[in-house]
Amino acid sequence: MTPDDVLASLDPEQRAAASAVRGPVCILAGAGTGKTRTITHRAAYAVLTDAVPASALLAVTFTARAAGEMRTRLRELGIGGVQARTFHAAALRQLQYFWPRVVGGAPPRLVDNTFGMVANAAARARLRPGTNELRDLLSELEWAAASLYGPEDYVVAAQKAGRQPPFDAPVVAQVYDAYRDLKQAQGVADFSDLLLLTAGVLEEQGAVAEEFRSRYRSFVVDEYQDVTPLQQRLLDAWLGGRDDLCVVGDAHQTIYSFTGATPSYLLEFRQRFPAATEVRLVRDYRSTPQVVGLANDVITRSTMKAARLELVAQRPDGPAPVFAEHADEPAEAAAVAARCTELIAAGTSPSEIAVLYRVNAQSAGYEAALGDAGVPYLVRGGERFFDRKEVREALLLLRGAARAGDEDVPTGLGAATADVLRAGLKWSLASPPAGSGAARDAWESLAALHRLATDMETADASAGLRELVAELEERSAAQHAPTVDGVTLASLHAAKGLEWDAVFLVGLVDGTMPLVHADTPEQVEEERRLLYVGVTRAREHLRLSWALSRSPGGRGSRRPSRFLDGLHAGVSKASAPAAPKGAKASRSGPVACRICGAALLAAVERKLGRCPTCPSDRDEELYEALRTWRADRAKELGQPAYCVFTDATLAAIAEQKPADVSSLVKIPGIGQAKLDKFGDDVLGLVTAR
Ligand code: ATP
Ligand code: MG
CA distance 339 to 431: 36
**Ligand 1 pocket member 255 (CB < 6 A):** no
Nearest CA among 110, 50, 119, 39 for reference residue 73: 39
Nearest to 607 by CA among 656, 674, 642, 557: 656
- Flag whether pLDDT at 384 surpasses 80: no
Q: Can 3-94+202-280 and 600-688 be said to share one CATH topology?
A: no
Higher pLDDT, 336 or 385: 336
pLDDT-based confidence at residue 65 (cuts at 50, 70, 90) = low
428 Cα: distance to centroid of ligand 1 (angstroms): 46
User: How confident is the model at residue 422, as a pLDDT?
Assistant: 93
The reported pLDDT for the residue numbered 267 is 93
How confident is the model at residue 443, as a pLDDT?
Answer: 85
Among the bound ligands, name the one nearest to the CA of residue 65.
2
pLDDT given at position 614:
67
Cβ–ligand 1 distance for 32 under 6 Å, the answer yes
Tell whether ligand 1 has an atom less than 6 A from the beta carbon of residue 313: no
CA of 223 to the centre of ligand 2 (A): 7
Q: Which fold has domain 3-94+202-280?
A: Rossmann fold (3.40.50)
How confident is residue 661, by pLDDT bands cut at 50, 70 and 90? Answer: confident
Which CATH code for domain 112-189? 1.10.10
Query: What is the residue extent of each domain of the chain?
Result: 3-94+202-280, 112-189, 312-384+479-574, 387-476, 600-688
Ligand 1 atom at shortest distance from the alpha carbon of 31: 2
Q: How far is the CA of 497 from the centre of ligand 2 (A)?
A: 4
Higher pLDDT, 465 or 587: 465
The per-residue pLDDT for 606 is 59
pLDDT of residue 300: 87
∠ at Cα 325 (320, 328), nearest 5°? 145
> Does position 280 have pLDDT exceeding 60, yes or no?
yes
Q: What's the CA gap between 258 and 221, in Å, rounded?
A: 20
Categorize the per-residue pLDDT at 582 as very low, low, confident or very high, splitting at 50, 70 and 90.
very low
pLDDT tops 50 at residue 575: no
Average pLDDT over residues 259-267: 94
The predicted-structure confidence for 420-459, as pLDDT tens digits, reads as follows 999 999 999 888 776 666 787 788 789 888 988 888 888 7
User: Which overall architecture, per CATH, does domain 312-384+479-574 show?
Assistant: 3-Layer(aba) Sandwich (3.40)
pLDDT of residue 555: 85
Please check the confidence at residue 8 and state whether its pLDDT lies above 70: yes
- Work out whether strand 25-29 and strand 245-249 pair parallel, antiparallel, or are unpaired: parallel
Question: Residues 380-394: what's their mean pLDDT?
Answer: 81
Residue 442 confidence (pLDDT): 83
Does ligand 1 have an atom closer than 6 angstroms to the CB of 14?
yes
**Predicted confidence (pLDDT) at residue 260 exceeds the cutoff of 50:** yes
Is residue 251 pLDDT above 60, yes or no? yes
Q: Return the pLDDT at 588.
A: 35
Report, as an integer, the average pLDDT of 90-108: 87
CA 357 to each of CA 52, 211, 481: distance values in angstroms, whole numbers, following the listed order: 43, 47, 22
Confidence of residue 639 (pLDDT cuts 50, 70, 90): confident
Cα 235 to ligand 1 centroid, rounded to whole Å: 26
Tell me the CA–centroid distance for residue 220 and ligand 1, in Å: 17
Q: For the whole model, what pTM was predicted?
A: 0.71
Q: Using alpha carbons, select from 245, 256, 247 the residue that is nearest to residue 28.
A: 247
* Alpha-helical runs (H) found in 377-437: 389-404, 413-425
| Average pLDDT estimate for 684-689 | 85
Residues 6 or more apart whose Cβ sits within 8 Å of residue 628: none
Q: pLDDT over 90 for what percent of the chain?
A: 49
Residue nearest to atom 29 of ligand 1 (CA): 285
Residue 162 and residue 157: Cα distance in Å, rounded? 9
Q: List the single range of 5-19, 525-539, 555-569 with lowest mean pLDDT.
A: 555-569
In the sheet that holds 245-249, the strands lie side by side as 83-86, 57-61, 218-221, 245-249, 25-29, 277-281
Which residue has a Cα nearest atom 30 of ligand 1? Answer: 285
Q: Is the pLDDT of residue 149 over 90?
A: yes
CB atoms within 10 A of CB 608: 29
Q: Between the CA of residue 492 and those of 73, 496, 525, 681, what are the distances in Å?
A: 25, 7, 15, 45
Residue 644: which pLDDT band, with cuts at 50, 70 and 90? confident
Of 432, 601, 626, nearest to 512 by C-alpha is 432
Q: How confident is the model at residue 616 (pLDDT cuts 50, 70, 90)?
A: confident
For range 181-204, the mean pLDDT: 94
pLDDT tens for residues 151-184? 999 999 999 988 889 999 999 999 999 999 999 9
**pLDDT, average across residues 479-506:** 82
User: Which ligand 1 atom is the nearest neighbour of the CA of 533?
Assistant: 3
- Rounded-to-integer distance, Cα 478 and Cα 459, Å: 22
Per-residue pLDDT at 584: 30
The answer to whether the CB of 132 is under 6 A from ligand 1 is no
Please give the distance of CA 435 from its chain centroid, rounded to a whole number.
20
Q: Which ligand is nearest to the CA of 33?
A: 1
Per the prediction, the chain carries an average pLDDT of 86
Ordered DSSP codes for 280-339? EE-EESSS-HHHHHHHHHHHHT---SSPP---EE-SPP-PPPEEEEEEEHHHHHHHHHHH
Q: Which residue has the higher pLDDT, 577 or 389?
A: 389
Average pLDDT over residues 383-402: 87
Distance 284 CA to ligand 1 centre (A): 7
User: Closest ligand 1 atom to the C-alpha of 36?
Assistant: 11
User: 38 CB less than 6 Å from ligand 1?
Assistant: no
196 three-class SS: helix
- How far, in Å, from the CA of 280 to the mean position of ligand 1? 14
Q: Which of 104, 100, 37, 23 is nearest to 74 (CA)?
A: 37
pLDDT per residue as tens digits for the range 71-92:
878 888 888 888 888 898 899 8
- b/e for 468-499, b at 16 or more Cβ within 10 A? bbeebeebbeebeeebeebbbbbbbbbbbbeb
Terminal-residue alpha carbon distance, the chain = 47
Model confidence at 658: pLDDT above 70: yes
- Burial class of residue 605 (count of CB atoms within 10 Å of its CB; 0-12, 13-18, 19+): buried
Of ligand 1's listed atoms, the one at least distance from the Cα of 11 is 27
CATH topology of domain 600-688: DNA polymerase; domain 1 (1.10.150)
Assign 524 a pLDDT band (cuts: 50, 70, 90).
very high
Residues with Cβ within 8 Å of residue 155, at least 6 apart in sequence: 169, 170, 173
> Residue 401 pLDDT more than 80?
yes
Q: What is the mean pLDDT of residues 336-340?
A: 96
Q: Is 249 in the pocket of ligand 1 (CB under 6 A)?
A: no
Establish whether residue 10 lines the binding site of ligand 1, counting it when its CB lies within 6 angstroms of any ligand atom.
Answer: yes
Q: Which secondary structure element, helix H or strand E, spans residue 83, and what is its range?
A: strand 83-86
